[in-house]
Amino acid sequence: MGAGKTSIGKKLSRRLGVPFVDSDRLVVRRHGPIADLFETHGEPHFRHLERDAVAEALSGDGVVSLGGGAVLDHRTRASLSGLSVVLLTVSAEAVESRLAGSARPLLQRGGIEAWHAITAERDPVYRALASVVFDTSHRPVSTVVDDIETWLDSERGTV
């Protein structure tokens, strides 16, 4: 949460000349605001919709941004196997200003403390899935994109 997945993903996809898909935006486009889905139907219902959106997003070529909780589903984790997975991290200090005034459902009852708890719980899963990790705390989006592009080139053997 707040690491810059969407901003970085969009810029990276433009740079690479491939499509960009944000799984959360797919859910919103089809089912309405995530906060409303959480409130009306609960988190399990949202996770089901999210799982379907992620499966669709991963079925094509391009850059895919996954919502932070998407990898909690074992089918999503299996779908990521063999793919280049970039983990974007952010420090608590940097994320606090990024999330100020956020309507994110999982932060509604705890703010930055909730972010800390969620991050601590999910971090081992994120790191187990990651092919590479980049910190976005104090770096411009373009610099992070440069680093990811360089890493992708090295993975493909084009550097």
- What are the Cα distances from residue 109, in Å, to 32, 62, 106, 122? 21, 35, 7, 18
The token duo for 7 is 């901003």
Q: Is the pLDDT of residue 100 over 90?
A: no
Task: Please tell me which residue, 92 or 133, carries the higher pLDDT value.
Answer: 133
The C-alpha atoms of residue 118 and residue 59 are separated, in whole angstroms, by: 28
**Domains of the chain with CATH codes:** 5-154 (3.40.50.300)
pTM of the model: 0.83
Position 107 scores a pLDDT of 47
E-state strands within the chain = 20-22, 63-65, 86-89, 132-135
Residue 132 banded pLDDT, cuts 50, 70, 90: very high
Pairing of strands 132-135, 20-22: unpaired
Q: pLDDT of 47-86, one tens digit each?
A: 999 999 999 999 999 999 998 889 999 999 999 999 999 9
Position 101 scores a pLDDT of 53
Position 108 scores a pLDDT of 54
Residue 103 banded pLDDT, cuts 50, 70, 90: low
Please give the helix or strand (H or E) that residue 77 lies within, else none: helix 74-80
